[in-house]
Amino acid sequence: MKKILVTPRSFAKYNYRQVAELFKKHNVEAEFNPYGQIMTEDQMSDLLSDKDGVIVGVDPLHEEVLRQAPQLKAIAKYGVGVDNIDTGYTDEHAIKVSRTLNANADAVADYSFALLMAVARRVVEINNGCKAGDWQKKIALDIFEKKIGILGLGAIGRGVVKRAQGFDMSIYAYDMYPDEAFVAQNDIRLTDVDTIIRECDFISIHLPLTPDTKHLLNADNLKQAKKNLIIVNTARGGIVDEETLYQLCKENRIFGAGIDVFEQEPPQQSKLLELENVVIGSHTAASTVGATEKMSLMAAENIIKDLED
């Protein structure tokens, strides 16, 4: 019997029977996150001590944790980003790491555009005002035929391209390894981050967090932004300098932001939570029934495959 830990709270929420039968068929015994929240390093270390594998969300799998898991052979990421996993350690110790590539791409692209529209049209602010008896009209921003800059043209970024096309938007993009055919077919202006900041009305972020993308949007380059700029981040919190973003939004030097990810999650006393022109998500962009089912099944299949190889 192979023993695994499952940390994501939404794992198999909508297709539990299917996943349970798959585990049973392959002699996998799963222990689920007992804490109801993102687990700490100490909690992960304790529960991983006798496990052969782990299906992990954004919980920490740093070297200190992995050293406490001598039997660990496989990690299945429930998602795409592996910045919470010490991949140097896993490579050195022959621990296999898999990802649920493309399983949640449409869900995240949908939510990215939902945040964009919510901030531009001040949906949350208007809703809260109306419920408090404030029936005043609030002037918002147009979206149709505006300019959007997409940072990262992976599966999610390409999904945002398709949604932006429905609004006849001019599409700018930055990507370190662009698909030239996709760029040409979709009339995308491939350019650099500074040009996107200067010229675009919206920026949607879909890059991995790496040393090269850490604080890619910062005080130096964001000072070039239009006053009506809206930044949407459903990728990783560290890509945007949060203190700079807070100051820009607070002082209305940009119009606002839609933020689903933070450098620390849950955010501790983040000043961004105080601002009306910032719409916040709980790292929830992939949380749809369809995406959850796809990610759960793919992560289960990945961990079984890697444990049996």
Which residues carry out catalysis? 236, 265, 283
How far is CA 40 from each of CA 34, 35, 61, 84, 216, rounded to the nearest angstrom?
12, 10, 10, 12, 27
- Please state the φ and ψ torsions of residue 125, each to the nearest 5 degrees: -60, -45
Round to whole Å and give the CA distance between 217 and 257.
Answer: 13
Helix axes 105-120, 123-131, angle to 10 degrees: 60
Q: Are 260 and 236 in contact (CB under 8 A)?
A: no
Round to whole Å and give the CA distance between 217 and 178.
Answer: 20
Choose among 164, 120, 165: nearest CA to 257.
120
- Please state the φ and ψ torsions of residue 102, each to the nearest 5 degrees: 70, -5
